[in-house]
């Protein structure tokens, strides 16, 4: 169904609305611009569906308006504000359908028994825009990182319920993988070595290329060499894992997606994101 509705009101406004905006206008039963009565609507039929029980009704806009008002005849009127009844094709319907169908995995179920600080999962956290581009392109892009500045994709092994600080730094959206899946793809925990150990390895001819993506300096002021500009380099708190290449979610299978609490499909990428998020489970903070 086309996501555009033309609405004319008593005061001669002609508005072009998305199906979701139209659904809002019907709930209010007024022109969204001036608050007067809606007179004409184009197209002339709409279909609503209940995502709980799949009850649906195709009819003219006045009847559809009454349906939305009364709620699903099978499930009854919803007490909560989130009604399961929406116009098919609208963003609201897609979100409700996602929420009804997606498989949720509780983060605590992935934790080691009596070890809230440990689980068998790593997460790549990123901003909204990168998240959409990953799902769209099917590729987590490797960025230059570590001591050698070679490309790698970074993950944290911090359990989800303790990721608040990391999410503030790296972004609130995440793609989670089983550690076993990352290891199978050549991934490994990042390695932190202090200057004296890096120097010792250099004496032996240096690091081989395969290891380079994982190597980082661990430096505190009392171990910092005189020549060093940065006297403290310590990223142990990131509890980082890496893969020394792009990661393709089609071959390295994600366990699920992580969304910011209550802001899953909000913002400018929301309606685009939902088209791709479908394929994955969701890891939730409980
Ligand atoms: Zn109006
Ligand atoms: Zn229903
Ligand atoms: Zn990155």
CA distances in angstroms from 73 to 19, 68, 77, 84, 194, listed in the order given: 22, 10, 8, 11, 67
pLDDT score of 76: 80
pLDDT score of 156: 98
pLDDT score of 82: 74
What mean pLDDT, rounded, does the chain reach? Answer: 94
Task: Note the ligand closest to the C-alpha atom of 85.
Answer: 2
pLDDT score of 80: 61
Could you tell me if residue 46 is left (phi over 0), alpha (psi between -120 and 50 degrees) or otherwise beta? beta
Mean pLDDT, rounded, for 112-131? 96
Mean pLDDT, rounded, for 112-125? 96
Cα–Cα nearest to 151, from 159, 139, 161, 142: 142
Confidence of residue 262 (pLDDT cuts 50, 70, 90): confident
How far is the centre of ligand 2, averaged over its atoms, from the C-alpha of 49 (Å)? 8
Q: Say which residue, 113 or 80, is predicted with more confidence.
A: 113
Q: State which residues have CB under 5 angstroms from ligand 2, the bound ion.
A: 50, 52-53, 55, 72, 74-75
How far is the centre of ligand 1, averaged over its atoms, from the C-alpha of 25 (Å)? 11
How far is the centre of ligand 3, averaged over its atoms, from the C-alpha of 175 (Å)? 12
For residues 186 and 251, what is the distance between their CA atoms, to the nearest angstrom? 12
For residues 63 and 97, what is the distance between their CA atoms, to the nearest angstrom? 22
Q: Say if residues 184 and 178 touch (Cβ distance below 8 Å).
A: no
Looking at the predicted structure, is the pLDDT value of residue 268 above 90?
no
Per-residue pLDDT of 147-196, as tens digits, reads: 999 999 999 999 999 999 999 999 999 999 999 999 999 999 999 999 99
pLDDT score of 94: 92
How far is the centre of ligand 1, averaged over its atoms, from the C-alpha of 229 (Å)? 65
Task: Note the ligand closest to the C-alpha atom of 175.
Answer: 3
Per-residue pLDDT of 211-223, as tens digits, reads: 999 999 999 999 9
The share of the chain scoring above pLDDT 70, in percent, equals 98
pLDDT score of 79: 59
Task: Note the ligand closest to the C-alpha atom of 141.
Answer: 3
Confidence of residue 1 (pLDDT cuts 50, 70, 90): low
* DSSP codes of every residue in 237-248: GG-EEEESS-B-
How far is the centre of ligand 2, averaged over its atoms, from the C-alpha of 45 (Å)? 20
Count of Cβ atoms closer than 10 Å to residue 109 Cβ = 10
Looking at the predicted structure, is the pLDDT value of residue 81 above 80?
no
Task: Name residue 216's beta-bridge partners.
Answer: 192
Confidence of residue 13 (pLDDT cuts 50, 70, 90): very high
């Amino acid at each position: 169904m086309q996501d555009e509705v033309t609405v004319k009101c008593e005061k001669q406004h002609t508005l072009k609305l998305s199906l979701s905006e139209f659904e809002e206008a019907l709930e209010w039963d007024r022109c969204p611009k001036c608050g007067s009565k809606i007179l004409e609507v184009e197209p002339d039929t709409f279909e609503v569906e209940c995502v709980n029980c799949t009850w649906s009704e195709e009819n003219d806009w006045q009847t559809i308006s009454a349906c939305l008002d009364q709620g699903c005849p099978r499930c009854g009127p919803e007490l909560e504000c989130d009604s399961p009844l929406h116009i098919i094709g609208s963003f609201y319907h897609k979100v409700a359908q996602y929420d009804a169908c997606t498989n949720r995995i509780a983060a605590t179920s992935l934790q080691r028994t009596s070890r809230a600080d440990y689980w068998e999962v790593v997460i790549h956290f990123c901003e909204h825009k990168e998240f959409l581009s990953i799902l769209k392109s099917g590729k987590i892009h490797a960025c230059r990182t570590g001591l050698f500045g070679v490309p790698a994709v970074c993950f944290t092994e911090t359990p989800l319920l303790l990721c608040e600080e990391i999410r503030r730094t790296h972004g609130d959206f995440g793609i989670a993988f089983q550690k076993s899946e990352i290891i199978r793809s050549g991934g490994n925990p990042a390695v932190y070595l202090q200057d004296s150990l890096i120097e010792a390895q250099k004496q032996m001819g240096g690091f081989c290329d395969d290891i380079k993506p994982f190597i980082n300096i661990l430096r505190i002021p009392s171990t910092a060499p005189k020549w060093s500009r940065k006297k403290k380099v310590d990223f142990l708190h990131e509890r980082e894992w890496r893969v020394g290449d792009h990661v393709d979610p089609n071959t390295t299978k994600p366990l699920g997606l992580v969304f910011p609490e209550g802001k899953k499909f909000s913002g400018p990428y929301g309606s685009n994101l939902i088209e791709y998020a479908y394929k994955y489970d969701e890891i939730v903070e409980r």
